[in-house]
């Protein structure tokens, strides 16, 4: 009996030691398969790294294989770094993959600065040697040199130019009585939770063909439309005469925050021909603020497109304000104004709003809201606007719940179909102060003919 048991154990041991999945395939024709045939990284700012990209290597053969060598061709000095199945290394030898199994290779790009302004290409490859044959996975990344600002105060008049982008860490402040000018084509990228505070003046002079960019410094495609990646631009109490023309501001907590009224006859912020989109809380947020906005497209923010608390002076002409929010839910009206701050009713201020020839539309039944608590002036001058709302209280010249028919909101095309109800509905603004500078043309520089098309696009 003992002899038979010993024989049975021996047979079991032999059988398990000879499992086919542990047989090593040494055939020269054996190939591995890959999850992608190359890895291309989006723009990488020099001195910073990217997120991981993943390469999966499959052994679809029934037997195990041994990779004699897997390596970065550029070795330790490569602009790419790899992690092979949990091991950070530029090369590993004798790596086994069982039959019908796989391994992961994680790849990052780190690019040293150069002197050039334009993006440049860096390349390497992962080489896999198996049974005397070599397979390759090309790696490529576009590097971009940049100018870095970290907790800096700009205390002399300064111009940011079109060349290298500006990367802001933590905070940058424009001091009181100081002007920061942004040339057409200037690019400002903000690291996580970074912001730009304006105690002086911000002048951003973009053009239709060369706009100015404010966005996150994460350039991977997965971050293209991720809100809340940076804090936003804040205009402080001492700030004056700010003007933003042809700017794109996206993916912040709050795009633009204006915290007070103007100290002169100009608005604290004049916002024209700009795109404000995809902010976690609000596109434009004012606290007893002075804002004039013309020809802007503001869309898809988590709570508000435009909000004014604690009173203020808000003047909006020919803007498209559209809030459909396909990526996150929303319960607040897109455009919202109050004369108080939080629940403190001792802080009541006058509110003046003038909205003419705008589109205020979105996915909720009420996209425009007011909340009045005090007895001070509360002006609601709304004329010739297309408004989605269940409260039709702003006069007969407005057009309530008449869908303007944007071409494709899911593809972020907020131009109007040719037979839109918003065509030829605009009030004549040819006598307005800003007619010759901004209102005589739409956001695409097409001549505006009155009665105009509502919103920022003329038909």
Confidence of residue 7 (pLDDT cuts 50, 70, 90): low
- Considering the chain, what percentage of its residues have pLDDT values greater than 70? 94
pLDDT, residue 222, reads: 79
**Contact predicate 360/321, CB 8 Å:** yes
| Residue 4 pLDDT > 60 | no
Confidence of residue 420 (pLDDT cuts 50, 70, 90): very high
| Residue 1 pLDDT > 60 | no
For range 153-165, the mean pLDDT: 96
pLDDT, residue 110, reads: 85
| Residue 213 pLDDT > 50 | yes
Cα–Cα distance, 396 to 383 (Å, whole number):
8
DSSP state of 435: I
Cα–Cα distance, 77 to 75 (Å, whole number):
5
Instruction: Write out the H or E segment, with its range, that includes residue 299.
Output: strand 297-299
Hey, what are 313's tokens?
Answer: 């002076």
pLDDT, residue 223, reads: 82
For range 361-381, the mean pLDDT: 96
Cα–Cα distance, 387 to 401 (Å, whole number):
6
Estimate to the nearest angstrom the gap between the alpha carbon of 233 and the chain centroid. Answer: 14
Cα–Cα distance, 108 to 237 (Å, whole number):
43
Confidence of residue 3 (pLDDT cuts 50, 70, 90): low
Torsion angles phi and psi, residue 283, rounded to 5? -80, -55
Q: What sign does the CA torsion over 413, 417, 421, 424 have?
A: positive
Cα–Cα distance, 36 to 124 (Å, whole number):
15
For range 356-363, the mean pLDDT: 98
Confidence of residue 87 (pLDDT cuts 50, 70, 90): very high
For range 73-87, the mean pLDDT: 92
Cα–Cα distance, 331 to 146 (Å, whole number):
40
Which has the closest alpha carbon to 366: 406, 307, 329, 323? 323
Would you mind telling me the total number of residues written for the chain in this entry? 459
For range 223-236, the mean pLDDT: 94
Which has the closest alpha carbon to 309: 269, 265, 361, 345? 345
pLDDT tens column, 9-60: 545 454 444 444 468 999 999 999 999 999 988 777 876 666 678 999 999 9
Estimate to the nearest angstrom the gap between the alpha carbon of 124 and the chain centroid. Answer: 29
| Residue 198 pLDDT > 60 | yes
pLDDT, residue 443, reads: 98
Strands 269-272 and 297-299: unpaired
Torsion angles phi and psi, residue 75, rounded to 5? 65, -155
pLDDT tens column, 315-343: 999 999 999 987 778 899 999 999 998 87
- Considering the chain, what percentage of its residues have pLDDT values greater than 90? 80
pLDDT, residue 16, reads: 47
pLDDT tens column, 177-191: 999 999 999 999 999
| Residue 69 pLDDT > 80 | yes
pLDDT tens column, 103-147: 999 999 888 877 777 778 889 999 999 999 999 999 988 788 888
| Residue 385 pLDDT > 80 | yes
Cα–Cα distance, 194 to 228 (Å, whole number):
11
Total-model pTM: 0.80
**Contact predicate 257/226, CB 8 Å:** no
Cα–Cα distance, 254 to 282 (Å, whole number):
5
pLDDT, residue 427, reads: 98
How would you classify residue 16: left for phi > 0, otherwise alpha for psi between -120 and 50, otherwise beta?
A: alpha
């Amino acid at each position: 009996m003992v002899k038979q048991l010993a024989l049975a154990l021996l047979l079991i041991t032999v059988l398990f030691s000879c499992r086919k999945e542990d047989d090593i395939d040494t055939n020269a024709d054996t190939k591995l398969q890959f999850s992608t045939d190359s890895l291309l990284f989006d723009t990488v700012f020099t001195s910073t790294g990217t997120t991981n990209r993943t390469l999966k290597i499959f052994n679809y053969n029934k037997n195990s294989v041994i990779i004699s060598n897997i390596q970065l061709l550029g070795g330790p000095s490569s602009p790419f770094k790899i992690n092979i199945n949990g091991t950070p290394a530029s090369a590993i030898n004798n790596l086994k993959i069982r039959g019908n199994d796989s391994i992961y290779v994680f790849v990052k790009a780190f690019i040293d600065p150069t002197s050039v302004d334009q993006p440049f290409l860096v390349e390497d490859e992962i080489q896999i040697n198996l049974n005397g044959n070599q397979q390759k996975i090309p790696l490529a990344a576009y590097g971009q040199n940049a100018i870095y600002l970290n907790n800096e105060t700009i205390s002399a008049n300064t111009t940011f130019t079109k060349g290298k982008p500006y990367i802001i860490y933590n905070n940058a402040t424009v001091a009181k009585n100081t002007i920061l000018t942004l040339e057409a084509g200037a690019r400002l990228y903000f690291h996580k939770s970074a912001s730009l505070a304006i105690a002086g003046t911000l002048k951003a002079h973009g053009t239709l063909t060369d706009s100015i960019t404010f966005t996150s410094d994460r350039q991977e495609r997965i971050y293209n439309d991720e809100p809340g990646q940076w804090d936003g631009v804040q205009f402080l109490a001492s700030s004056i005469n700010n003007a933003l023309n042809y700017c794109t501001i996206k993916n912040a907590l709050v795009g633009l925050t204006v915290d007070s009224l103007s100290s002169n006859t100009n608005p604290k912020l004049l916002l024209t021909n700009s795109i404000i989109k995809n902010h976690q809380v609000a596109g434009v947020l004012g606290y007893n603020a002075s804002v004039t906005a013309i020809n802007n497209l503001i869309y898809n923010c988590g709570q508000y497109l435009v909000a004014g608390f604690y009173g203020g002076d808000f003047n909006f002409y020919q803007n498209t304000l559209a809030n459909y929010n396909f990526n996150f839910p929303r319960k607040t009206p897109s455009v919202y104004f109050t004369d108080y701050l939080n629940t403190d009713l001792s802080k009541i201020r006058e509110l003046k709003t003038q909205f003419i020839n705008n589109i205020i539309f979105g996915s909720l039944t009420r996209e425009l809201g007011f909340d009045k608590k005090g007895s001070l002036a509360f002006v609601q001058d709304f004329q010739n606007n297309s408004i989605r709302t269940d409260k039709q209280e702003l006069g007969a010249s407005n057009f309530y719940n008449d869908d303007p028919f944007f071409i494709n909101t899911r593809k972020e095309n907020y131009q109007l179909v040719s037979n839109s109800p918003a065509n030829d509905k605009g009030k004549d603004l040819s006598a307005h102060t800003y007619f010759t500078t901004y209102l005589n043309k739409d956001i695409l520089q097409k001549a505006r003919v009155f009665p105009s098309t509502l919103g920022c696009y003329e038909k």
